[in-house]
Structure 1
Amino acid sequence: MRLPLALIALAATAPLLAQSAPQVPGQMDATRVVAGSYTADPAHSLIAWEVNHFGFSDYIGLFGDVAGTLTIDPADLSAASVDVTIPVGKVTTASAGLTDHLLRAGKDGAKPDFFGPDPSDARFVSTSVSASGNSAKIDGNLTLNGITKPVTLDAEFTGAGNNPYNKKLTLGFSATTTIERSDFGIDTAIPLVSDVVELEIHVAFEKN
């Protein structure tokens, strides 16, 4: 049986196409991690939060422009430290009305329902790191709404490599945790809007 010319041509060019295909610069390869200090890339670092609304559905919002630092030595991961600041005042949701509600002042001098019009930044500062493979438990203190509580992050190393645009060595991490907002004095509409808040964190750090 004779193969169509198009298939013959495709088979002949396949090796060339494979060689020219762009490679993703970040790889989950711990040997690429270089000891030192890193700074968060705010344009590519986000924290998603999720609450349940009235028992009907889950609602998701975002904090962007995350700032912070990471100090890491692959030879001693237990000595790693992270300090991240989250600008609560830049909270984003899919609803302009809801975003306004999160940031509006309290009525008639009362405290705001949620964050208020000029909320302080939130901050997470690690106190210990326990790593195993590409995963880690990061214990630390979260300050939100002026209240500090201990929080544990379940973190994953997602990749390392040189950013092709600015040529900086970049490390990527994701993490999850769950908090109860009432612990931080944000108790409006509980239990209609869940007290439990799930956080999903994605941060890229660039080497200094």
Structure 2
Amino acid sequence: MRTIKTMLAGLLLAAAVPAVAAPVTYNLDPTHTQVLVTWNHMGFSRPSANFGIDKGVLVYDAKAPQRSSVEVTLPLSLMDTFVPDLDKHLSGKDFFDAESYPNATFKSTKVTSLGKNKLKVTGNLTIKNITKPVVLDVTLNGTGVHPMVKKSAIGFNAVTTIKRSDFGVGAFAPAVSDKVDLRITAEGTTP
């Protein structure tokens, strides 16, 4: 009888303790993820390029955002400026030298909560085998069940500014701005 009471007490105690949410792993969706880069071209225009992702994994812990992480691979072959000649020029040796360095990568090193749906994500951006720290200001757009695929989903936006010369792609600066703005939007779903 004492064993049954002990078991019941244990079950009641377990039921009274709230469940601890575990981190959720999401695969980023290449068809709904964009890394848009814009720059100043000699004071006349602000061209842009979209860097698509090949693969990306986001681990998000809603209860403890500091335990979250993200890792993304951006194949330079997916870069699209909507101008084929410019794509070719940017992929060449003056800029990304995509033949020798086919991918850029980002891997987070620290995530800090800045309040409701706001995060600061610090990580290492690698372009042309040059790695530098980058800080992203992130807005969590939402989490929930994706209506099309019926899986848990997450969406976010992020922004930052980097100096392209830090990564060996500083050709024609300062006429073509060294600082470039990055705007990221992404969706991910559970595997």
- Supply the AA of the counterpart residue of 1:62: N
> 4+ residue runs of structure 1 moved beyond 2 angstroms?
none
Q: Which runs of 5+ in 2 are unaligned?
A: 1-20
Alpha-carbon displacement from aligned partner over 1:11-58 (angstroms, at most 9, x marks no partner): xxxxxxxxxxxxxxxxxxxxxx97321111111111000010011121
Say which SS state the counterpart of residue 88 (structure 2) adopts: helix
Within a 5 Å distance, the mapping from 1:1-208 to structure 2 comes to 35-104=23-92, 112-118=93-99, 119-131=101-113, 132-208=115-191
Q: State the 1:68 CA deviation.
A: 0.9
- Supply the AA of the counterpart residue of 1:90: L
Aligned-residue identity in percent? 40
Q: State the 1:167 CA deviation.
A: 1.0
Q: Which runs of 5+ in 1 are unaligned?
A: 1-32, 105-111
**Which whole-Å CA distance do the structure 2 matches of 1:168 and 1:202 have between them?**
19
**Which whole-Å CA distance do the structure 1 matches of 2:163 and 2:120 have between them?**
19
**TM (normalized to structure 1)?**
0.77
Q: State the 1:165 CA deviation.
A: 2.1
- Assess, with a 3 A threshold, how the Cα gap between structure 1 residues 165 and 201 changes in structure 2: closer, same or farther: same
Say which SS state the counterpart of residue 63 (structure 2) adopts: coil
**Which whole-Å CA distance do the structure 1 matches of 2:139 and 2:54 have between them?**
18
* 8 A Cα contact 2:35 2:50, kept in partner: yes
